[in-house]
């Protein structure tokens, strides 16, 4: 229902003024929230770019180590290293809040790396490759966490922006228009009421004057 179709009375006027006050307050809070989300988003973008560059470079380095190790090591020795080596890692899950928005987080911690292989048949490059890859897993997990956080914040920014626009371009202007319309209508009704009172007073005065003259 359009706000211009509301009943023009003082109760409606008071209700609309309260609504307008709440809408403007909500609009300010949402704009502040949107600005905070944008700042957090840009911070995470910088972190994401840095992490991605680091992971990409490290993966290239690891692939180089692997290629050199494959060329200088026996297949049986490499297979033994892959099956018998052990890595102890833990994953810690947590939730952090950005402007009351829950952001899931995971942290991978490497506690122990135990590589098993015959040193005579496996190049030391394989040792370097696997050690670096295990360490890199922590950054890969962090990269995934940051990417997920960016998706969550992007969706929240879009929803908040729609609410800001709805208040700014629809609800607040319509409410202000309705208030103005009611105020004009009430002023008109007040003037009409005064005119009627003056006419009644004039009529009563004429009647009183006629009675006296008689």
CATH number at residue 138: 1.10.287.3240
pLDDT at position 78: 65
Residues 6+ apart with CB under 8 A from 43: none
**pLDDT: is 162 or 136 the higher one?**
162
Here the tokens at position 67 are: 């290629």
Checking if the pLDDT of 167 tops 60, the result is: yes
Number of structural domains, the chain?
1
Give the C-alpha separation, 79 to 137, whole Å.
Answer: 21
Checking if the pLDDT of 3 tops 80, the result is: no
Residue 68 lies in a domain: yes
pTM for this predicted structure: 0.74
Task: Residue 152: give the domain boundaries.
Answer: 28-165
Checking if the pLDDT of 2 tops 70, the result is: no
Residue 5 lies in a domain: no
Residue 20 lies in a domain: no
- Contact assessment for residue 96 and residue 149, using Cβ atoms and an 8 Å cutoff: no
Classify 1 as helix, strand or coil: coil
pLDDT at position 73: 62
Q: Mean pLDDT over residues 47-57, rounded?
A: 95
Give residue-wise pLDDT tens across range 172-197.
Answer: 999 999 999 999 999 888 888 888 88
Confidence of residue 1 (pLDDT cuts 50, 70, 90): very low
Checking if the pLDDT of 43 tops 90, the result is: yes
Classify 54 as helix, strand or coil: helix
Residue among 137, 134, 149, 133 at smallest CA distance from 48: 149
Residue 106 lies in a domain: yes
Residue 207 lies in a domain: no
């Amino acid at each position: 229902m359009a706000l211009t179709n509301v009943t023009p009375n003082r109760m409606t006027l008071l209700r609309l003024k309260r609504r307008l006050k709440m809408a403007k307050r909500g609009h300010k809070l949402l704009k502040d929230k949107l600005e905070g989300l944008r700042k957090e988003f840009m911070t995470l973008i910088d972190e994401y770019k840095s992490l991605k560059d680091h992971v990409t470079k490290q993966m290239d380095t690891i692939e180089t180590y692997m290629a050199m190790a494959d060329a200088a090591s026996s297949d049986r020795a490499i297979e033994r290293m892959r099956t018998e080596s052990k890595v102890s890692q833990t994953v810690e899950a947590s939730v952090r809040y950005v402007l009351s928005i829950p952001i899931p987080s995971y942290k991978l911690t490497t506690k122990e790396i135990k590589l098993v292989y015959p040193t005579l048949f496996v190049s030391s490059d394989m040792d370097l490759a696997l050690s670096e890859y295990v360490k890199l897993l922590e950054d890969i997990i962090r990269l995934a966490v940051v990417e997920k956080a960016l998706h969550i914040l992007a969706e929240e920014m879009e929803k908040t922006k729609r609410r800001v626009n709805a208040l700014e371009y629809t609800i607040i202007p319509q409410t202000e228009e309705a208030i103005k319309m009611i105020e004009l209508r009430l002023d008109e009704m007040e003037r009409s009421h005064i005119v009627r009172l003056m006419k009644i007073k004039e009529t009563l005065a004429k009647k009183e004057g006629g009675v006296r003259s008689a």
